[in-house]
Chain A
Amino acid sequence: MTGSNNNIYMPFKAVIEEAIDMGCNVKFFKVIPIPPHPPLSKGGRGGFIDYIPGQFFMVSQWGAGEAPISVTSTRGLQRHIEFAIKKVGAVTTVLHKLKKSDTIWLRGPYGNGFNADAAKKRDVVFIAGGIGIVPLRSLINFIQMHKKQYGKIFLLYGAKNPSEILFKEDLKAWNKKGIEITLTVDVKDESWKGNTGVVTGHLDRVKTDFKNACSYICGPDIMIEKTMKELTSRGMPDRQIITTLEARMKCGIGKCGQCYHGIEYICTNGPVYTYEEIKKRRVYGP
């Protein structure tokens, strides 16, 4: 193990505490990290890794490879690191086969994470599309924990169909704690009595002063783009529209170049950006 402490590519082990199939190709993992010595952060006590909402880990299984996965847990609320992983590629397919007490390997946390300060003393509007709820869950819980510092909290969450709505337990709990939740689906079935259509169509339900509110968006590219435009047209300043982007990443630490986009390495400068930054970034094209 020569120089392992200095090797930024060296993953550490984590044991799966819980693995729950959430349906629609998403699996929920609760993992206990066994970080190397000394622990990555000074603040972290043994067995804890310090991270903030919106960050991601490079999760790997030997033989399959690494994939960037956002955390969905919140430090201080959940004891363990939680991931909700959708089966989309080779690595995630292998990860889906894992069960309780299996070992996975982590590197991280990486990325800038959400800037929760931007929303301080403001109303907060969370807008999630599909799997985009995963990183937002971490932030929603974080803001909920410190809710005295924030205004009203709204959540607009759109899914493809009712069965693809994730974290139903959390939604109930948030509702009880006073978060105003609007759910919508693209395709409804018999059981569904709620809203249909895209999330942007339901922004009217968010009763807030958009000029002073702060919004966090996560979802598919098209949905993000549409929502950002819609929010701007309602008067929300660009720097209060915050989103998280997706890119192919291999290192997570700004070296491999795969996520390079404009002038930024999404893995280190991002993945969280304000609309203002995104606009600036695109001056030169891709």
Chain B
Amino acid sequence: MEKVPTICPYCGCGCGLYLHVDKGIICGVSPSRNHPVSKGSLCVKGWNCYEFIQHPDRLTKPLIRINSKEHTTSKKNPPLPPFSKGGRGGINSSLVTHNSSLFREASWDEALSYIAKKLTKIKNTSGPDSIGVLSSAKCTNEENYLMMKFARAVLGTNNIDHCARLCHSSTLGGLASTFGSGAMTNSISEIADARVIFVIGSNTTEQHPMIGMHMLDAVNRGAILMVADPRRNMIAELAHIHLKHKSGTDVALLNSIMNVIINEGLVDIAFIKRRTENFDEFEKVISKYSPDIGEAITGVSADDIRKVARMYAAETRSMLFFSMGITQHITGVDNVRACANLAMLTAHVGHAMTGLNPLRGQNNVQGSCDMGAIPEVYSGYQNVKDASARKKFEAAWGVSLPKKSGLTLIEMLNASRRNKLKAMYIMGENPVISDPDVKHTIEALKKLNFLIVQDIFMTETAKFAHVVLPAASFAEKEGTFTNTERRVQKIRKAIEPAGKAMPDWQIICELSKKMGYNMDYKAPYEVMEEIALLTPSYRGILHHRLDDGYGLQWPCTDVNHPGTQFLHRKKFARGLGSFIPVHYLPPDEQPDEKYPFILTTGRSYFQYHTGTMTRRTTTLEREQPECTVEINAEDAEQFGIKNRAKIKVSTRRGSIEAVADVTDKIIPGTIFIPFHFHEASANVLTNPALDPYAKIPEYKVCAAKVERIHEERPYIK
């Protein structure tokens, strides 16, 4: 039995673990005792992360849709039902049914030649900007970099985006304008020594359990834990102060906290003078948000607001954490700016054990942003509109690059609906489940002339693809993941890829060769070298340096640089930190008579994202086999809903059926639905209204109604 050290493929914590491999079979997991994040612990998903890797559902061969017009062969040999004659051998074996659309297996050469031909044709007839590319926060840095290079250098478009658009694009946007860098400022290992921990809009103990562990350690050492969340989840139960503000009122809450800080003289004037700008204008706005006004808007008592303000401001070692609860609003960028203002106001940034810490949700969402898998920047956040940056990349890549910024994820789908976008190449993403307003997403995908999906499983999105490419999972390839604290860590190959699946980086290289651009890398470390060459913050990060350590935290500017524990030391990344005043704006949709509830969506502890991995894991699927709707007991009584009754939740966009979870963990008037379940997809309901700057949809608030269905409770698996 061999034990291969690697990094967990789930959340942004980036825990170290060992995959146990026996005779080519992955048979278990154990935590790494000395890893700085996990320290010998793992969460339930980490402990069970081995099971999906060799699941029988894995895609093992490239698949080409049969009813696509280009394939005349299929007309000659009409598809037969796959089970007719024993199912093995002959033509039947190569037929695959998928909800009435038919795929046939193909060789890599055929599939890639086909894609190359189609993409070239579309590029030549409709222009490069008629192609959109979605990269993946689950893939390695090297793969994201290559995907970005593929979109920009091979296809010639800046239409590249990934799911960070849906989680932390507001953080990037909000912090870029205030601090100059959109990453977590401090490190996870500092948390245990903090004195005050203020968590807003993050279910840390469930979604970043190992960060939650460090917070609990801090509490054990006497730190004060304050949580602002409309739900009373585990971290809120452990908190000393829990602010149950209404969803979508974060700006009002934060502004009134800052109002107290300013009025009570808790501001760090020296810091503001030396390190920041634009304070005066900001102060004018804040003066309008007295705690009483805050109370009226948020539902949190003015006293609690004052308490939180005093506690946060009084300690030097105060850490502020936020996550999706802040970002997934139409005011996402404003929310983030408000958080940044709060940190600057009290000098809680730029030294250890403080900072503004956005918790990233995917194992490599930080890395894929760093790698420039977003329309407006190259790797290392070098803007595509910046001529000198562009010149550098043009020189290295040997092509001329598009000057104009590209489309974001939601904009791509919208463009497709308007017939502006003809083709999409989706790597390791499942927008049908993860993007708001499923109906529109499906409509957009159906309209595409050509859709390539590259994934490890047949996802709901792959159903609409013309070509499906089988990729290797995290255990089957080399590469690096960047966790939420900017730590670039190496993952290691434990087993050979399933069937004929290939690592994503290899697929991209092969495809670009077919399209006439020679991407020639022996292994991911060569890609990393190129990344280091072109990306200042990754300059010193090379595979051989990652081999004998727990990774390096960027910025790491040369090969001897030890990595950076916390950002904005001595000065902000943009020079002076900028106070940007923000006003409270109500959510796009407010509850009304017809739709009386605020619906907020998120993740549950046992499932992960669109469930492609967790729903194929026995223990995790058993724990949360169905979609449950958290509803307050008072509301439930009013609507005659009993615990575990089947209910229907509707919004202006659609409705789903799910099981009621009557609880007192959520405030009255609000309901919560996890979005993992394709059979009851919460994103059928969500509002695709976007933040004007970051284009992040408002997942966290929409108006909904709840009805009881007179039907017996469905059985559980």
Contact = CB atoms under 8 A, between A and B. Distances in A.
* Touch test A–B (CB under 8 Å): yes
Interface of A: 87-90, 93
Nearest to A87: B715
Nearest to B717: A90
Nearest to A92: B715
Contacts of B715: 87-90, 93
Interface of B: 715-717
A25 to B, nearest CB: 10
**What are the 3 A-B residue pairs with the smallest beta carbon separation, nearest first?**
A90-B717, A89-B715, A88-B715
A93 B717 CA distance: 10
Contacts of A89: 715-717
Nearest to B716: A89
Contacts of A90: 715, 717
Given A89-B715, A89-B717, A90-B717, 5 more contacts: A87-B715, A88-B715, A89-B716, A90-B715, A93-B715
8 contacts: A87-B715, A88-B715, A89-B715, A89-B716, A89-B717, A90-B715, A90-B717, A93-B715
A89 B625 CA distance: 12
A87 B716 CA distance: 11
Contacts of B717: 89-90
A88 B712 CA distance: 11
Nearest to A91: B717
Nearest to A65: B717
Nearest to A89: B715
Contacts of B716: 89
A83 B717 CA distance: 21
Nearest to A88: B715
A6 to B, nearest CB: 24
A24 to B, nearest CB: 11
A88 B716 CA distance: 8
A89 B626 CA distance: 13
A241 to B, nearest CB: 30
A218 B715 CA distance: 22
B406 to A, nearest CB: 46
A280 B715 CA distance: 33
A221 to B, nearest CB: 15
Contacts of A93: 715
A93 B715 CA distance: 10
A48 B14 CA distance: 57
A264 B716 CA distance: 26
A89 B717 CA distance: 6
A88 B715 CA distance: 6
A160 B619 CA distance: 34
Nearest to A93: B715
Contacts of A87: 715
B56 to A, nearest CB: 12
A90 B626 CA distance: 13
B361 to A, nearest CB: 31
Contacts of A88: 715
A88 B717 CA distance: 9
Nearest to B712: A25
A221 B715 CA distance: 18
B181 to A, nearest CB: 49
B590 to A, nearest CB: 42
A87 B715 CA distance: 9
B83 to A, nearest CB: 15
A181 B715 CA distance: 32
B434 to A, nearest CB: 27
A87 B712 CA distance: 13
A207 B717 CA distance: 44
